[in-house]
Each structure stands twice: as structure tokens, then as C-alpha cells.
Amino acid sequence: MDERYTPVLSDEERAALRAQRAKRRRAAQQARRRRQLRQLLPVGALLLILTCLLAGWASHRAKEEPEPEAEVPAALVFEETAPPEPEPLWTPAASADTVLLDDALPSAYAVVIDRSSGSILAEKDSEAVISPASMTKIMTLLVAVENLKSLDDTVPITIDITDYCFVNDCSVVGYELNESATVRELLYGTILPSGADAALALAIYIAGSHEAFVELMNEKAEELGIAETTHFTNCVGLYDEAHHCTVRDMAVILNAAMENELCREVLDARTYETAPTPEHPEGQILSNWFLRRIEDKDTGDVEVIGAKTGYVMQSGNCAASCGRDSDGNEYICVTGNAYSSWRAIYDHVELYKTYCN
């Protein structure tokens, strides 16, 4: 030891501090044992062992000189709180009242669900695995909205985006190479005209790459409890054997999107006008074909308040929509493999009128 060092504590004070430290260590060990015992033993055995431990501790303490208890500042006292309960999954379920649809409904796959209860009102092969085509973009919208930074950020349309759309013959908004659009416009462009250019621009903006964004989509599917039958390989809906879901899964995705205020706003828009750009000096008017054509059809007491269509050769014409009756009750309707886009609309008209009124 340095001979110039002057001890701050006496031997007695140092011994007292060591004793206090040992006491705190014993208390922490006992608390840890109690937590472990609570996890491993039935309640009765736990109480018995705790009683023995406390008796031994009290006996040991009685043999020691009583020491003043150090007062713990209130700011350092922490209460253990249980983690919040996870939100229950919205899981559609059939019942004895569920109507099993037959070939009178032209679409090969269908499901109609009461949103408030999750009860399936009618279905047709709703658990068959299909290609979701551009209904995929509902998940693209949901993941983008849940991860976006600012609606006013501008995103460029790069050559990898335009090339992807050209090579795969995708439906597009019609952005030119190097044209920029706000994130808000890209959300509407993804849904209303089913623009692959808008969806890809969102994916790259959100996650840095298309591939990284698809990972987020599959994580969301797992979060929604549909990962066993739902998997995505792209954000636009191109056919791929590994890109699939069921109409019941798509109903779960649409339900989650309708719970989000911004997603709901986008899915319910009939038209949207983009801001002028050098490439489009007058802007562009985007339109949701399905909503504009179903709004004057006889759906009974139900107004359709959100929708997205899809088509690839392997899936036929698909559609996912949400309807609301005059009492405020809401329904999800998803169909797949209709023989035409108009047939998909009329199948939704028939399902709403028959099972949601």
C-alpha cells in the first residue's frame, strides 16, 4: 500500500460495511430463490419451503447484532409489473349457422365474416391455398403504414423499379423514370390503380430493399396468426408457388388494415389526385375501379367502404372488400377465381345482399 495513503474508513466502519453488503447479498439470493420456487413448485409446496427459509433467516438474524436498516430513497424503489397482455388475434370461425356455398356462386373461393364477432356467415373452400394476386397490396399498404417515417417524404422512381414493372408486365400508376412522389401518394397509388411502381417505391423507402420489405410482410403474417398458410415473396402480387394465402387469411389481413385509420382512408378512396410534377404537369387522377363500380349496385343495406382487387392467370379474378350496414355493423368479404372482373363484383354484391342484411 502507498505509505502516503490516508484511510478514509476505520477498521470498524469497513467491517460494518462488509456486513451490510453480505446482508444485502443474502437477501438478494433469497429473493431470487423465491422467484425460482414460484415458477417451479405448486403453491402448497412453495408456501412450505418459503416458511422454512424465513424461519432459518429469522434464526440467523437473531444471532447477529441488530443493525439499523438503511433507508432506501423512494426514487429507487421499483414495483414489479406484469407485462401487458397481448391483443387477442382476430380469428374467423365457422359455426353451425355458417352457410356452405355451392357452385351457384361462380367464384371458386369465398368467405363472408362479421367483423365484430369474427363469425363466418358464409364460405366456399375458404381454407384452400391460392395465389392472392394484387390483393397482396393490402398487406403492402398495412406494413408500409405501420413502418413509415413521414407521409410528406418524397421517393424517386428508380430504374430498378421501372425495369421490374416492364419485365413482369405489372399494372402501374404510370410514373416516369426519376419522377418523385410523396409517400402519401404512393400509398394511394398502391391501392387505387394497383400500381406496382408505387408499391416497390414504398418497399424500398421503408426497408431499403424489396427483399427486406417482404421479410416485414411475412413477419406481419406471423403476428396476425396466419403464417401457416400465408407467405409472400413479393410486394406486388406476382405469381410464385411460394407466394400464397387463403381467402380466410386475406380477410384477416383486410380486417387488420381496416383497423388502421390511414389504411382505412386509402382503401375507402374512390379517386385521388396526385400533385403536379415536371413529368405530369397536371398531376394524375387515380381511381379504385371496384369501389366506383359497386357503389350503384344493389347490395341491400350494405355500403362498401374499402376494397382491393387482384388478377393473375393462376388465381383468376379476386377481390377483398369491407362493407358497413346502416346500423354500423361491418363485414369482410373475400372471393377468388371468378371468371371476370365484373363477375367478382357481382359475387360481392350477391354475398352482401344475401348474408349481411
Instruction: Return the CATH number at 153.
Output: 3.40.710.10
Q: Does residue 110 fall inside a structural domain?
A: yes
Residue of 107, 126, 194, 315 with catalytic role: 194
Q: Does residue 171 fall inside a structural domain?
A: yes
Is residue 341 located within the same domain as residue 231? yes
Q: Does residue 232 fall inside a structural domain?
A: yes
Alpha carbon separation from 64 to 12, 53, 320, 322, 342 (Å, rounded)? 16, 17, 75, 73, 88
pLDDT of residue 56: 61
Is residue 348 located within the same domain as residue 284? yes
pLDDT of residue 88: 84
Is residue 151 located within the same domain as residue 18? no
Q: Does residue 206 fall inside a structural domain?
A: yes
Q: Which parts of 224-288 fold into alpha helices (H)?
A: 247-258, 261-267
Q: How many domains does the chain have?
A: 2
User: Within 10 Å of residue 260's Cβ, how many Cβ atoms?
Assistant: 15
Per the structure block, which three cell numbers stand in for 218? 411475412
Residue-number span of the structural domain to which 58 is assigned: 12-76
Q: Does residue 120 fall inside a structural domain?
A: yes
Q: Does residue 87 fall inside a structural domain?
A: no
Is residue 44 located within the same domain as residue 110? no
Q: Does residue 327 fall inside a structural domain?
A: yes
Is residue 269 located within the same domain as residue 310? yes
Is residue 147 located within the same domain as residue 288? yes
Is residue 259 located within the same domain as residue 341? yes
Residue of 107, 126, 131, 134 with catalytic role: 134
pLDDT of residue 55: 64
Question: What residue type is 125 in one-letter code?
Answer: D
Active site residue 137: yes
Is residue 282 located within the same domain as residue 331? yes
Chain position carrying cell 382512408: 265
Start-to-end CA span in the chain (Å): 91
The closest of 261, 253, 236, 269 to 332, measured between CA atoms, is 253
Is residue 263 located within the same domain as residue 143? yes
Is residue 155 located within the same domain as residue 65? no
Active site residue 134: yes
Is residue 218 located within the same domain as residue 128? yes
Main-chain phi, psi angles of 28, to 5 degrees: -65, -40
Residue of 137, 171, 220, 308 with catalytic role: 137
Q: Does residue 260 fall inside a structural domain?
A: yes
Per-residue pLDDT of the chain (357 residues; tens, 9 = 90+): 334 444 555 666 555 655 665 565 566 456 545 555 555 545 455 566 666 666 665 555 555 554 555 554 554 444 556 656 667 899 999 999 999 999 999 999 999 999 999 999 999 999 999 999 999 999 999 999 999 999 999 999 999 999 999 999 999 999 999 999 999 999 999 999 999 999 999 999 999 999 999 999 999 999 999 999 999 999 999 999 999 999 999 999 999 999 999 999 999 999 999 999 999 999 999 999 999 999 999 999 999 999 999 999 999 999 999 999 999 999 999 999 999 999 999 999 999 999 998
Is residue 163 located within the same domain as residue 215? yes
